[in-house]
């Protein structure tokens, strides 16, 4: 018998009380387990009582009277008294996605965005201004690194980078007043882990809000809010969609922070998630547990296979005992996740020969797809980082990031063997 799914700590949810649907039609029962939430959570049915979620492809909404419009723009404080006025502010399909993801995360509130980078930027920019201070983990996705090291300083915001795994470095950086802490765990691309609970305690003493990019772990394998984070961001483009179809992002946190700090920023700057993309993401959430389990199972098998290969200098996977932070991974993650990083001994020549020989695994800078995808970070996602910064992040010429899909494990291992043979031949 399969193990019973755990009950996630979550409040009940009600999207809002438009007259088109029955009261409480869109509730999420706080007693539902994860799999049930991802199929039924946040569902809002129209007067037609459809089975599948409706797609509201509309830019605006109409009112029965001028007085009704006036009341709508007065922004009632009670959620059930609010209504949709413009799809840049809110949309029924997007609201269903937000409610479902919030229920999964165990967050009080969620807002969708047009992409993962829109989520990251908005989550930071909405709470920062000139003269403030940000402390960030050094290991970041290339675009996140640009925001922290180039964009924020341009606006008079002090930014400090620390080595994420080094809690003493965090302690030193957070010994003075700080406004925001930002980190990825596991990090992109070399899968560094950060002790989220430990950093959150230090950040609280420094007066900082902790923003965690949880995309590699997915909301199923790690719960940053339970570990002390204040805000969680996702590129829903990745595992939440999971099939390489649409862009999307999400920001989750307390209702007070989302409605008081985040919503005013995105309402007026417009990084809006489209209704169509939200509908696709809702479909992705339905199968997320099945896919993440398959991803993680395959990733562990692939990591173990690569660890035995002579052409491989090292394998980085949180689920392996050889990972330098395996003990931390066991404390704060439920599984090793869908990503594997590894270094080939022959450098760039070996890495290029390896990926060019693959037939099943495809070359792409994307990740989180049902299909296995591989990239060479030093020449793609992190190409623009200075050489010394790449060295500090251990992104070498032979480094590869593998997003493991849900194909048959044996087929993946055979394809990797093909790549390993080509790498060995190229460096003889």
Q: Residues 70-82: pLDDT tens digits?
A: 888 886 655 555 7
- CA 299 centroid distance within chain: 18
The verdict on residue 51 lying in a domain is yes
295 shares a domain with 409: yes
Please give the Cα distance from 32 to 12 (Å, whole number): 10
Pair (60, 141) in one structural domain: no
**Does 251 reside within a domain?**
no
The pLDDT of residue 26 is 53
Q: Is residue 89 part of a domain?
A: yes
Label residue 1 by pLDDT band (50, 70, 90): very low
For position 78, what pLDDT does the model report? Answer: 55
Do 61 and 88 contact (CB within 8 A), yes or no? no
Residue 370: CATH number of its domain: 3.90.1150.10
User: Which CATH number do you get for residue 209?
Assistant: 3.40.640.10
Co-location of 38 and 57 in the same domain: yes
Span 267-288, mean pLDDT? 98
- pLDDT confidence band for 428 (50 / 70 / 90): confident
Domain count of the chain? 3
Confidence of residue 19 (pLDDT cuts 50, 70, 90): very low
- For residues 83 and 194, membership in a common domain is answered with no
Task: State the average pLDDT over residues 29-47.
Answer: 91
Report residue 404: phi and psi, to 5°: -80, 130
- pLDDT reading at 129 higher than 60: yes
Indicate whether 305 and 401 sit together in one domain. Answer: yes
Instruction: Tell whether 97 and 129 lie within a shared domain.
Output: no
Q: Residue 8: what pLDDT?
A: 52
Taking Cα atoms as reference points, which of 58, 53, 51, 403 lies closest to residue 235? Answer: 403
Same domain for 124 and 103 = no
pLDDT digit string, tens, across residues 406-415: 999 999 999 9
Q: What are phi and psi of 164, to 5 degrees?
A: -50, -45
Residue 78 falls within a domain, yes or no?
A: yes
Q: How many CB atoms lie within 10 A of CB 230?
A: 21
Of the three residues 265, 286, 307, the one that is the final residue of a domain is: 286
Is residue 297 in a domain?
Answer: yes
Is the domain of 147 the same as that of 65?
A: no
Residues 84 and 187 reside in one and the same domain: no
Residue 322 maps to a domain = yes
CA neighbor of 248 nearest in space, from 390, 118, 142, 103 = 118
Q: Does 258 fall in a domain?
A: no
Of 224, 257, 286, which closes a domain? 286
Per-residue pLDDT at 387 exceeds 80? yes
Kindly state whether residues 312 and 334 are assigned to the same domain.
yes
More confident residue, 396 or 19: 396
Greatest C-alpha distance within the chain: 79
- pLDDT at residue 236 is higher than 90: yes
pLDDT at 379 over 60: yes
Closest CA relative to residue 8, chosen from 95, 128, 104: 104
| Predicted structure pTM score | 0.93
Which pLDDT value is given to residue 18?
42
Q: Is residue 140 part of a domain?
A: yes
Say if residue 132 is in the same domain as residue 78: no
CB 366 within 8 A of CB 245: no
What pLDDT is attached to residue 79? 53
Q: 137 with 36, same domain?
A: no
Domain that holds residue 79: 8-107+275-286
Q: What whole-number percentage of the chain has pLDDT above 70?
A: 92
The yes-or-no verdict on residue 21 having pLDDT over 90 is no
Question: Averaged over 317-333, what is the pLDDT?
Answer: 98
Question: Where does 98-206 show beta strands of DSSP type E?
Answer: 109-113, 133-137, 158-162, 180-184
């Amino acid at each position: 018998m399969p193990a019973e799914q755990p009950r996630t700590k979550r409040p009940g949810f009600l999207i809002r009380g438009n007259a088109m649907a029955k009261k409480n039609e869109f509730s999420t029962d706080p007693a539902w387990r994860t799999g049930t939430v991802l199929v039924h959570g946040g569902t809002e049915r129209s007067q037609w009582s459809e089975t599948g979620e409706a797609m509201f492809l509309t830019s605006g909404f109409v009112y029965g009277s001028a007085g009704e419009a006036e009341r709508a723009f007065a922004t009632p404080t009670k959620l059930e008294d609010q209504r949709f006025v413009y799809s840049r502010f809110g949309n029924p399909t997007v609201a269903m996605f937000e409610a479902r993801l919030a229920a999964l995360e165990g967050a009080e509130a969620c807002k969708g965005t047009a992409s993962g980078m829109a989520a990251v930027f908005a989550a930071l920019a909405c709470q920062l201004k000139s003269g403030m201070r940000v402390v960030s983990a050094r290991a970041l996705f290339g675009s996140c690194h640009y925001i922290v090291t180039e964009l924020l300083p341009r606006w008079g915001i002090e930014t400090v980078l620390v080595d994420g795994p080094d809690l003493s470095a965090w302690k030193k950086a957070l010994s003075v007043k700080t406004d925001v802490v930002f980190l990825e765990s596991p990090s992109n691309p070399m899968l560094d882990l950060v002790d989220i609970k430990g950093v959150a305690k230090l950040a609280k003493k420094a007066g900082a809000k902790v923003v965690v990019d949880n995309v590699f772990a997915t909301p199923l394998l790690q719960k940053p809010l339970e570990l002390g984070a204040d805000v969680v961001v996702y590129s829903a483009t990745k595992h939440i969609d999971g099939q390489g179809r649409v862009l999307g992002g999400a920001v989750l946190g307390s209702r007070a922070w989302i409605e008081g700090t985040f919503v005013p920023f995105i309402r007026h700057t417009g990084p809006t998630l489209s209704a169509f993309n939200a509908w696709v993401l809702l479909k992705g959430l339905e199968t997320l547990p099945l896919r993440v389990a398959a991803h993680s199972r395959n990733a562990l098998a692939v990591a173990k296979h690569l660890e035995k290969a002579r052409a491989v200098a090292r394998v980085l996977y949180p689920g392996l005992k050889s990972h330098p932070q395996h003990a931390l991974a066991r404390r704060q993650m439920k599984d090793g996740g869908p990503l594997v990083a590894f270094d080939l001994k022959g450098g760039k020549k070996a890495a290029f020969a390896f990926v060019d020989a693959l037939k099943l695994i495809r070359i792409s800078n994307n990740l989180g797809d049902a299909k296995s995808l591989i990239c060479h970070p030093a020449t793609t996602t992190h190409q623009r980082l200075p050489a010394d910064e790449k060295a500090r992040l251990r992104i070498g010429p032979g480094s590869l990031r593998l997003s493991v899909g849900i194909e048959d494990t044996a087929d993946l291992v055979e394809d990797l063997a093909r790549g390993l043979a080509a790498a060995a031949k190229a460096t003889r």
